[in-house]
């Protein structure tokens, strides 16, 4: 009985000791993460950052021709919210262990289903994708660093830098397909009443990318059936023009400028300029002015749209007209600043 009691007390003591909170202390190689939005997808890298600390790194601390966890402590990981391509090869959405095999002239980058290894406990049977990349000389980086560069709506370059070496990995993201597939899922069931704006946005995105225009026409007609706006009718006009229905496009554009308010025209002109379509903004605004009159706001928007299209002389003509009609000092100063900017660029 005494020995049993002694054993129980020992177990309790051990439990009490193990339950004590531990003090967090700095790690030799601190943890880090970097996240980047590419289009509508997110890429996240989690890793630990070793330092050079005067050591020879490549071919020594990190041997050539051997798998490396690509950092310190646990294996580095990379996560994708959507399927991507790595150096042109497909990779499904998910989280992967990021192993590498460094060499003097080339590196193998490995995306593994092993995401929890401490150290380089590499198992080739868990490889999901392997690609070859070319390292390049770089400025000195004391603490190993992952970063993103060359970012666009459809891709980015993930770059590993440490010591005097950089290792780039190109990531492609099929953003157009992702956006439109998400739209299809959203529109596959239920009423359009509560999502006419999303239908319009999806149709407008398809127009901007010049893809799936037949489908976009269905979406914009569904949106218009719920609520007809200048923007939705302009998008329908765009679709009809791109598919060769010139007469239908003109009719839809006339309906747009007849139905829309000045604020609608100005707002959509700004959207078109942001989509790098200033010529279409000019066409819409000129029709709007012919139908509804040229207020100072429309003249200003025409000036900015002509400027974006590269016709600075017409831009100045419309901005000067806007300045004469502007209602107050603040508006006049805003237009004067635009005129000054254009003149300085001439």
Task: Output Rg (C-alpha) for the chain, integer angstroms.
Answer: 30
| Tokens encoding 344 | 């300085």
* Contact criterion met (CB below 8 Å) for 187 and 219: yes
Walk along the chain (346 residues) and give the pLDDT tens digit of each residue: 455 445 544 544 455 445 577 777 777 788 999 999 999 999 999 999 999 999 999 999 999 999 999 999 999 999 999 999 999 999 999 999 999 999 999 999 999 999 987 767 889 999 999 999 999 999 999 999 999 999 999 999 999 999 999 999 999 999 999 999 999 999 987 788 889 999 999 999 999 999 999 999 999 999 999 999 999 999 999 999 999 999 999 999 999 988 888 889 999 999 999 989 999 999 999 999 988 877 899 999 999 999 999 999 999 999 999 999 889 889 899 999 999 999 988 6
Half-sphere exposure of 69 (CA within 13 A, CB side): 20
- pTM equals 0.81
**pLDDT tens for each residue of 219-228:** 999 999 999 9
Among 49, 52, 84, which Cα is nearest to 69's? 49
- Phi, psi for residue 24 in degrees, rounded to 5: -75, 130
* Contact criterion met (CB below 8 Å) for 87 and 104: no
**pLDDT tens for each residue of 17-71:** 455 777 777 777 889 999 999 999 999 999 999 999 999 999 999 999 999 999 9
Name, in order, each residue with C-beta under 8 angstroms of 80's C-beta and a sequence gap of 6 or more: 41, 42, 43, 91, 92, 93, 94, 95
- Phi, psi for residue 167 in degrees, rounded to 5: -125, 105
């Amino acid at each position: 009985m005494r020995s049993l009691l002694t054993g129980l007390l020992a177990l309790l003591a051990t439990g009490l000791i193990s339950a004590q909170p531990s003090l967090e202390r700095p790690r030799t190689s601190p943890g880090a993460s970097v996240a980047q939005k590419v289009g509508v997808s997110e890429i996240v890298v989690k890793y630990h950052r070793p330092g050079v600390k005067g050591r020879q790194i490549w071919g020594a601390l990190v041997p050539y021709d051997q798998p490396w966890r690509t950092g310190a402590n646990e294996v580095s990981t990379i996560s994708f919210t959507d399927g991507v391509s790595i150096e042109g090869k497909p990779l499904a959405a998910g989280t992967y262990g990021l192993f590498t095999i460094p060499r003097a002239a080339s590196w193998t980058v490995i995306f593994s289903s092993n995401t929890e290894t401490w150290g380089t406990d590499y198992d080739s049977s868990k490889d999901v994708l392997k690609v070859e990349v070319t390292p390049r000389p770089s400025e000195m980086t004391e603490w190993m660093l992952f970063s993103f560069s060359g970012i666009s709506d459809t891709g980015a370059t993930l770059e590993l830098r440490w010591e005097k070496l950089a290792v780039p990995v190109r990531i492609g993201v099929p953003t157009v397909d992702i956006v439109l597939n998400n739209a299809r899922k959203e529109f596959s069931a239920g009423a359009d009443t509560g999502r006419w704006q999303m239908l319009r946005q999806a149709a407008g995105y398809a127009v901007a990318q010049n893809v799936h225009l037949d489908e976009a026409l269905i979406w914009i007609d569904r949106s218009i059936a719920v609520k007809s706006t200048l923007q939705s009718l302009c998008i329908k006009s765009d679709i009809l023009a791109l598919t060769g229905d010139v007469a239908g496009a003109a009719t839809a554009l006339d309906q747009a400028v007849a139905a829309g308010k000045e604020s609608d025209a100005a707002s959509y002109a700004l959207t078109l300029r942001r989509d790098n379509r200033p010529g279409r903004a000019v066409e819409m605004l000129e029709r709007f002015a012919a139908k509804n009159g040229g207020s100072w706001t429309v003249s200003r928007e025409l000036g900015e749209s002509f400027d974006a299209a590269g016709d600075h002389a017409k831009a100045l003509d419309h901005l000067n007209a806007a300045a004469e009609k502007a209602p107050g000092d603040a508006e006049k100063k805003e237009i004067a600043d635009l005129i000054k900017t254009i003149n300085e660029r001439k």
